Amino acid sequence: MTQLSTTLTASNARSNFYQILANAVDNLNRFTIKIRGKGDAIIMSKEELESWEETLDILSNKKLANSLRKALRSKKTYTQEEVYKKLGW
């Protein structure tokens, strides 16, 4: 299997479609597909997309984002057991 560039023409992507999908899913690689005269498209795994969406949700919630920043600044840490206890697990 040859190494694919992460930026491909639409023709090259069509010829290597299965390999692109396998790399996106198995290795979390992202591919930019150049579509002449129309712009670009991205192929990535569903897992990576969901991770980006979750990050955007967190960052768009100002109260939660500020809470996370404050927690990071406090440098307070918890053991795994403390976290489980706090969550009621």
The per-residue DSSP string of 11-80 comes to HHHHHTHHHHHHHHHHH---EEEEETTTEEEEE--HHHHHHHHHHHHHHH-HHHHHHHHHHHHHT----H
Q: What tens digit of pLDDT does each residue of 27-78 get?
A: 999 999 999 989 999 999 999 999 999 999 988 999 988 988 898 999 889 8
Domains, the chain, with CATH or none? 7-44 (3.40.1620.10), 47-87 (no CATH)
pTM: 0.65
